Structure 1
Amino acid sequence: MARLRIGRRALVPGGALQRQHLRALCRAADSFRRCTGVWRAVPGGRFLPDMAILASATQDNTMINRLSFSPWGGGVMLSSLLVAAASVAAPAAGHVPSQGAATDYRIETRQRLSDWLLANPLPDNADLLALSWRSAAEQDRQQALQSQLRQRLNGRWSALGGVIADMPVTGRVAVPKADARWLQANAHADPWLSPGDIVHVAPRSQQITVLLTTGHQCQVPHQGGADAATYLRACGVVSADRAWVVQPDGVITSHGVARWNQSTQHAPAAGAWIWAPELGDDIDPDLSDQVASFLALQEVAPLSPTWSFKRSPRDITLAADARDLPTVGNDWGVVGLMQTPTARMSPAGTLAITYSRQEPYSVLNMRLQPVEWLELALGYMSISDRPYGPTELSGDQSWKDKSAHLKVRLWQESAWWPEVALGWRDFLGTGAFSGEYLVASKRYGPFDVSAGLGFGYVGGRGDVRNPLGRVSERFDTRPGRDTFSRSGGQVNGKTFFRGPAAFFGGVQYQLPWQQWVLKAEVDGNDYEHDPAGRPIKQDSPVNLGLVYRAASWLDVTVGVERGNMATVTVSAHAPLDKLTMPKFLDARPVPVLPTRPAQAGLVATTAKDIQDQTNLKVRAIEQRGRTWSVVVTDPDMGYERPVVERVAAVVHRDAPAEVDRIELRFDQRGVQVAQAVVDREAWARAKTELLPPSQQREALSTEAVATDKAPDKTLYEAEPNRFAYGVGLAYRQSLGGPDAFLLFQLAADLNLSWRLRDDTWANGRLRVGLVDNYDKFKYTAPSDMPRVRTYIREYLTTRNATIPNLQITHMGSFEALGGSDHFYLGYAGLLETMFAGLGGEYLYRPVGSRLAVGVDVNRVRQRAFEQDFGLRDYEVNTGHATAYWDTGWYDLVAKLSAGQYLAGDRGVTLDVSRVFRNGVSMGAYATKTNVSAERFGEGSFDKGVYVTIPFDAILPKSGPSEASIVYAPLLRDGGARLSRRFTLYDLTSTRGPRALQTGAP
């Protein structure tokens, strides 16, 4: 008979024993249900600290023999309580012998880990994943982490806190790979071992260790391919919804392990820890992250004799069977089933293009997921049996209806609650297909069930009285539900959630084959009042579909809708926030050595190599004390950090040993905008060795340029290029017009720039059209305002060779206003395609600040349609005050402008975008002026959505350009702004808080 005793000292240091402690013992004995009566017999479910539990176990039965209580200072004495458990197979409890002893190798002389590995062959049974470096420098930091964790666990989780306190502070620093040759080839991962450090080599483990919230450590034999949920079930953890897996090499991953949130995961390796608090434990994710971080500092599964027990899994679940929930676009482009939406969202950063066909409709949509809780889809619907307009204008083109769809998550799914979302279909545009809905989704393994209540087109069946009608009878009727609205572009707020409603819902099922998904739904629409102009026959409200995931980025859905119509939907999607590309077409980086040169290199060679490495023009290299400053003119970069790293590599190779600080100064159009600063020692160490976390520090920073210190010496100086030119391609398109659905032009641009002096330059652009179909462009939109933009047809079709831009610009800073935070810009000439004139801009932007404020004022005159030097009669004053705010909340950046627009109207523009770490941005803008919707015309107000992708994220060569996708449903005269070639906010981008973070690994 094996015996497990858990006494006051070990189990409840400093706190009362609670029901979860006894529950762990029941799990160990596999008699959880029988044990529940024990804590229920005690009022309040709480035991006093002096309680002792003696549990005996055999292979045939389990008995909790005795619970004795001694109250503090009086009270009732409960002498004994006997609970008989069912006869079950129980594991032997107690100390688990190791599979061989670990070995600590003490370092006597300073050396690289790679050199030590070559000189000390490891035992055959060594676990290379678990090999770790113990650094004395890490002891204090890890001790502080342990104390903080113990303090957070004090009280309800004091037993777990006591176990954490008993775990050793190892000083462990995880090593990426225990391969000497690989470490030599990757110097940044090869640490220097100092005297007194230890290399810890453990034998291969055959166990997985699950840490319970009671502090117990449950060991399960490792099973190849089994996922975390398998080991949790073996240890009696049945209600955890998330697990933290700490692999033997210290890598931590977190996975959903419940039926409602299971996700794709890597199987735990032998020797891994698993931490998974159950739902009733009420441990927040932040605390779990901290627990997992501390476990990552431990060696492979050290067990306390009185706190461990062994279990064997009864069933094996392969990690490949746990899959992420697929989110597939429905016929409308939003995440859903067939016609109906669900409450699901794609991951933030997703861009999807969806095309669907269901007679008589064809739908093309672009779906954006800028944040986790908001989905936006925009596009066009073609109605095949409805003409666009008069034959002489539109030919046989079918009707094109612009649409916008919005879905907002109200509640995120949990173990007991569904995901809930509120949505608006076609809430802009004509509103012909407008509808609203409230929908909930709940997952159970491969099944994802949704149910909702729809209004308008979503609930066209109308067999349920609107529940809001109990509040006000006006909700019982929906105005204009069967006709096209004449107020296109307005938010149809007066129709929201009005009229009869209908229930809808369905289920999505992941087939055992990962590429296939089944869909079935009950549609809320009966198509009797369809905007196509005639009722559409519906034989059944049940729609069926089969999704084939042809690639990680492509879904193809075929189905049957309305009981009589075959449909097809194709959806291409990509996680734009994860776009990245190795720069194998860049110059080969300069190797970084851990030591500084004994003799400085030739400065002229330094300047040349910097230019070759970065394509930046080096104006000067200066020395101030122990600092080298590299001055570059007119920096035109993509990601800034890789550029700074390349400059640092060249300077580190060539600068004298006494130089400790490297500055890369950005001289933008003669103005010293900002400088990136490199701590040479910290940077070189990070590049050439693996540092313990306590010794790591940020080596790069952004600073304002100190203009009051003259250089001790100028080591190199060069004149800037006075003349520059470049050739490129330009593409523009118009979608959804009456002449043709797609009008496009591909043109060649010749860009010229002439520097008149350091702070003043002239630039121009000559454009020649190559290929276009603008010969079809015959429609000039009506306007009741000055035609500042609706002459677009005339500007695009009058002449093939044009001058879009030709201007002189001057830039400076106001030193008298407090230093280099104040900038100004003056300009005059052919400022854009449609306007010429002159203007000025002021910007206040401190280095690293999330806030900036600017003002621009312009006097402009309309250009001739030929886009040469001719002018038309119309002229106007225009300008805006603009506030820029990088909020730091969900990486959102907001711009708010107020002022006078080109048509003389006055108002406000709000632009909000999500900027991801790789520089990709998703945004939307809207402008509202003092012009009424009727006078503004179709669209009611100016608005649009855009996606911007830096070429650095998608091309194998570094560069400053970017690609933009802009959805602006209509081009109108109201709310039109001057499209200036240069803005101070862009010219001073190196001062922003994201300058060194965007694109950083």
Structure 2
Amino acid sequence: MTRNFRSPAAIAMGAVLLSGTALASWSNGAGAEPRPTLGLYGTTGLVDMPSALSQPDGELTFTSSYFAGINRNTLSFQILPRVQGSFRYSGYHEFNYAGFEDYYDRSFDLSFQFFDESRYLPAMKIGLQDFVGTGISSGEYIVATKHLGPKIAVTAGLGWGRLGSEGDIGSPFGARPARDFGRGGKPNTGEWFKGPAAPFAGLSYKPSEALTLLAEYSSDAYRLETNGRSASRLFAHESPFNFGVDYAVNDTLTVGGYYLYGSEIGLRFSLALNPARPAVRGSVAAAPGALAERPDPARDPDAYFTAWAARPGVLKTLRRDAHAQLLAEGIEVTALSITEGRAELRFRNLRYDAEAQAIGRAARVLSRVMPPSVETFVLVPTVFDIGASAVTLRRSDLERLVEAPDAEAQLFAVAGLGAAGPRPGPADRPEGAFPKLTYSIGPFVRSSFFDPSSPVRAAFGLSLGASYTPRPGLVFSGAVEKKLLGNLDEGRPSNSVLPHVRTDVVRYEREGDPALRNLFGAYYFRPSDDLYGRVTAGYLERMFGGVSGELLYKPVSSPLGLGLELNYAAKRDFDGGFGFQDYDVLTGHVSAYYDFDNGFHGQLDVGRYLAGDVGATLSLDREFRNGWSVGAFATLTDVSAEEFGEGSFDKGIRISIPLSYFTGTPTRGSIGRTIRPITRDGGARLSVPGRLYEGIRDYHEGELADQWGRVWR
């Protein structure tokens, strides 16, 4: 029976390749459908089959779909205009597979659009489905999509693995080896494009901007889910044809409904976010104060007299006035040095997620406060009370360019950017700057995912924290927590053969309530212009205390940074108090950081981890100018896959989105999450508060250049 369906698939494939000639008057179908539909797998596709189209660059989508007891939850990211990556967590209800009544599976997908749609030729894509994991959904494909007009698109492709199980045409690249996933988590490269291959095809029609109608011929026979041999039979596969409706409720939410395989009804919900499509267009922040222009020196030379600098109390008054106006702008003065022609402001940016915006507002305030003879403004943003960089602006340049059509670019061209000088003395600090005591109280949320017995666990409670800074660079900080509700303490006990440096989290949750989250002292310093240092000691995190030292070499104008961190760590008692267990370790890393100047940032850490294993972590993040960041990491150490346990090695993805994206109001806050398929003890790193690099680099050349467009806002 399956052979009877090969002909429609072959005809559809031919239609894709030949449609450009027949409809040459219509081109660039990708432009007509900037946001293609997502399928049940949460990746760009029709119903259950992929298409060759791409989501808008930077699109981040979360999809939840359900049919026949199969629930797929997928996080997809359009990494590049041609590259999409996905992480999926699937649940099979009452499946009775691999010893579990309800079976849960983690998987990764990757696809590459290697050919854009043109006037005559289709878009073409190659993809890997579930290429890291147990392989229950594993498949590979090559697919083409061509628009036959602004509303109709035809798709056809060839699939392998489970995408080659319905109506196959043979095995063009040899037999597919038997699956041996071991501990899981490793790429199943030996299977790629091996075994039977089968064609699939489909059509999409858009009667309106919001509505898309879908039909497809699926090459997935769902043998495991329908044969009832190694698992329970979830549904009856009566037909390879699927039909669906996709409806875009708004820019964020789309929903889909489907009739599947001649016997099932399916549903899909997708949420989409994009750095280029913020929830609030523009900024709702208060406009900056005016830039005060000085009188013409030729007409009013007396305005530029310098004797004011010697008058008693003048410098104190200027510091007080600047401090008050800057604090109203969300900028805290830590020091202000003033001479007849120069003002050097050291400040903390408390409000602006665009660092250049803080610099621009600080410059405007100085223009209103400083006497006309002060021509040079040196703006030194501080992180951990050490100068991150020094931005030098001529006041005359600010006055000349404030109304220029390309004021941002011109100002950046004449601005000086270099290393900050030494920390100023007490005389230049505003009254009450030090010592400083702050405190906070607020909710906390901790979560755990992917436990087969309960895929989502969480704990909610209150955290009380305080910080005391007696002098610049020295800080004492701590926090206590009280859980109010949650089930994190009900997870599985650790079965790790390695030292339990991370897998005892259930015991910490069960026995540590309330708990001292951390209590430490830290000192930050600068040994030289391009070198930054930190020493931290105390209860560093919920599971470990100890001593940590760090040196960071990072020239202001260099994309490269180098770091060295050494730690002595001891495992804390489960009750979250002051005691320690009988486990300690020397750990540390040599790190290299690199800004690729194209929105990507890489990091390589080589060293010894908490369980005593030695290896390296490679991270790659795509960072957007508005503060979005999406990345992935992987750690390989001398721990074998068998010793590591499920997952074989540590890996994951991480996402950070600034709160200003949702509110339009400047804020330093963000929401983010690191997602690991599973947390084990191998490749675990000590969590130290206040590591240097991420804070320092915000005010270096690469980051400031990206943010400079907001310097006048």
What interval of TM-score do these two structures reach, taking the shorter chain for normalisation?
0.7 to 0.9
SS state at 1:959 partner = coil
Partner Cα distance (2:97, 2:258) in 1: 28
Partner Cα distance (1:344, 1:331) in 2: 16
Q: How big is the shift at 1:721?
A: 3.8
Partner Cα distance (1:929, 1:901) in 2: 9
Name the CA shift for 1:535/1:459 in 2 (closer, same or farther; >3 Å): farther
Q: Deviations over 1:669-711 (max 9, x none)?
A: 4433312333323333443454699977646553212449999
Partner Cα distance (1:868, 1:358) in 2: 48
Paired residue type of 1:341:
P
Which of residues 312, 335, 357 in structure 2 aligns to 1:642? 357
Match of 2:291 in 1: 592
Partner Cα distance (2:29, 2:49) in 1: 24
Name the CA shift for 1:548/1:606 in 2 (closer, same or farther; >3 Å): same
Which of residues 433, 455, 477 in structure 1 aligns to 2:176? 477
Which of residues 95, 116, 120 in structure 2 aligns to 1:416? 120
Asked if structure 1 preserves the Cα contact closer than 8 Å seen for 2:652 and 2:677, the reply is yes
Which of residues 129, 149, 154 in structure 2 aligns to 1:425? 129
Match of 2:216 in 1: 521
Name the CA shift for 1:882/1:695 in 2 (closer, same or farther; >3 Å): closer
Which of residues 60, 66, 75 in structure 2 aligns to 1:357? 66
Partner Cα distance (1:919, 1:751) in 2: 26
Match of 2:257 in 1: 558
Asked if structure 1 preserves the Cα contact closer than 8 Å seen for 2:386 and 2:524, the reply is yes
Q: Deviations over 1:57-86 (max 9, x none)?
A: xxxxxxxxxxxxxxxxxxxxxxxxxxxxxx
1:911 paired with 2:619, answer: yes
Name the CA shift for 1:683/1:444 in 2 (closer, same or farther; >3 Å): farther
SS state at 1:829 partner = strand
Partner Cα distance (1:714, 1:755) in 2: 17
Match of 1:899 in 2: 607
Asked if structure 2 preserves the Cα contact closer than 8 Å seen for 1:410 and 1:421, the reply is yes
1:611 paired with 2:327, answer: yes
Paired residue type of 1:901:
Y
Q: Deviations over 1:497-545 (max 9, x none)?
A: 221111112122221x221111111101122344754484322211111
Choose 1 or 2 for highest CA Rg.
1
Match of 1:102 in 2: none
Partner Cα distance (2:335, 2:407) in 1: 37
Asked if structure 1 preserves the Cα contact closer than 8 Å seen for 2:630 and 2:655, the reply is yes
Name the CA shift for 1:783/1:334 in 2 (closer, same or farther; >3 Å): same
Asked if structure 2 preserves the Cα contact closer than 8 Å seen for 1:942 and 1:975, the reply is yes
Which of residues 442, 463, 488 in structure 1 aligns to 2:184? 488
Asked if structure 2 preserves the Cα contact closer than 8 Å seen for 1:527 and 1:535, the reply is no
Asked if structure 2 preserves the Cα contact closer than 8 Å seen for 1:348 and 1:372, the reply is yes
Which of residues 420, 440, 444 in structure 2 aligns to 1:705? 420
Which of residues 265, 268, 284 in structure 2 aligns to 1:569? 268
Gaps of 5+ in 2: 1-19, 297-302, 309-313
- Between 422-431 and 408-417, the greater mean CA deviation after superposition: 408-417
Partner Cα distance (2:381, 2:410) in 1: 30
Partner Cα distance (1:884, 1:829) in 2: 27
Asked if structure 1 preserves the Cα contact closer than 8 Å seen for 2:607 and 2:616, the reply is yes
Name the CA shift for 1:856/1:715 in 2 (closer, same or farther; >3 Å): closer
Which of residues 366, 372, 380 in structure 1 aligns to 2:81? 372
Paired residue type of 2:607:
G
Match of 2:3 in 1: none
Match of 2:455 in 1: 741
Q: Give the TM-score, by structure 2 length.
A: 0.87
Name the CA shift for 1:328/1:721 in 2 (closer, same or farther; >3 Å): farther
Q: How many residues align?
A: 665
Q: Following superposition of structure 1 onto structure 2, how do residues 169-248 of structure 1 map, counting pairs within 5 Å?
A: none
Q: Deviations over 1:764-798 (max 9, x none)?
A: 111122332335x1411311111111101011121
Match of 2:501 in 1: 788
Match of 1:881 in 2: 590
Match of 2:393 in 1: 678
Aligned-residue CA RMSD (Å): 2.9
SS state at 2:642 partner = helix
SS state at 1:449 partner = strand
SS state at 2:164 partner = coil
Q: Following superposition of structure 1 onto structure 2, how do residues 825-840 of structure 1 map, counting pairs within 5 Å?
A: 825-840=534-549
Asked if structure 2 preserves the Cα contact closer than 8 Å seen for 1:383 and 1:532, the reply is no
Q: How big is the shift at 1:864?
A: 0.6
Partner Cα distance (1:692, 1:585) in 2: 22
Q: Deviations over 1:376-431 (max 9, x none)?
A: 111211111225898xxx9xx72211122111222222333322222111112221
SS state at 2:703 partner = coil
Match of 2:372 in 1: 657
Q: Following superposition of structure 1 onto structure 2, how do residues 103-142 of structure 1 map, counting pairs within 5 Å?
A: none
Match of 1:465 in 2: 170
Q: Deviations over 1:117-165 (max 9, x none)?
A: xxxxxxxxxxxxxxxxxxxxxxxxxxxxxxxxxxxxxxxxxxxxxxxxx
Match of 1:447 in 2: 152
Asked if structure 1 preserves the Cα contact closer than 8 Å seen for 2:459 and 2:488, the reply is yes
- Between 492-501 and 935-944, the greater mean CA deviation after superposition: 492-501
Asked if structure 2 preserves the Cα contact closer than 8 Å seen for 1:596 and 1:653, the reply is no
SS state at 1:954 partner = helix
Match of 1:621 in 2: 336
Match of 1:498 in 2: 194
Asked if structure 2 preserves the Cα contact closer than 8 Å seen for 1:744 and 1:774, the reply is yes
Name the CA shift for 1:592/1:461 in 2 (closer, same or farther; >3 Å): same
Asked if structure 1 preserves the Cα contact closer than 8 Å seen for 2:69 and 2:234, the reply is no
Match of 1:961 in 2: 669
Asked if structure 2 preserves the Cα contact closer than 8 Å seen for 1:617 and 1:633, the reply is yes
Paired residue type of 2:248:
R
Asked if structure 1 preserves the Cα contact closer than 8 Å seen for 2:617 and 2:636, the reply is yes
1:938 paired with 2:705, answer: no
Asked if structure 2 preserves the Cα contact closer than 8 Å seen for 1:640 and 1:996, the reply is no
Match of 2:658 in 1: 950
Q: Following superposition of structure 1 onto structure 2, how do residues 241-320 of structure 1 map, counting pairs within 5 Å?
A: 259-261=26-28
SS state at 1:852 partner = strand
SS state at 1:993 partner = helix
Partner Cα distance (2:617, 2:437) in 1: 37
SS state at 1:665 partner = strand
Which of residues 779, 800, 815 in structure 1 aligns to 2:513? 800
Match of 2:530 in 1: 821
Partner Cα distance (1:697, 1:785) in 2: 53
Q: How big is the shift at 1:463?
A: 1.8
1:510 paired with 2:206, answer: yes
- Between 937-946 and 573-582, the greater mean CA deviation after superposition: 573-582
SS state at 1:467 partner = coil
Q: Give the TM-score, by structure 1 length.
A: 0.63
Asked if structure 1 preserves the Cα contact closer than 8 Å seen for 2:161 and 2:195, the reply is yes
Q: How big is the shift at 1:633?
A: 5.2
Partner Cα distance (1:694, 1:543) in 2: 54
1:549 paired with 2:248, answer: yes
Which has more strand, going by share of residues?
Answer: 2
Match of 1:929 in 2: 637
Q: How big is the shift at 1:435?
A: 0.8
Paired residue type of 2:692:
L
Asked if structure 2 preserves the Cα contact closer than 8 Å seen for 1:813 and 1:823, the reply is yes
Q: How big is the shift at 1:888?
A: 1.6
Q: How big is the shift at 1:587?
A: 5.6
Paired residue type of 2:251:
S
Gaps of 5+ in 1: 1-238, 240-256, 265-322, 469-474
Q: How big is the shift at 1:447?
A: 2.0
Match of 2:238 in 1: 539
Partner Cα distance (1:771, 1:710) in 2: 49
Asked if structure 1 preserves the Cα contact closer than 8 Å seen for 2:386 and 2:423, the reply is no
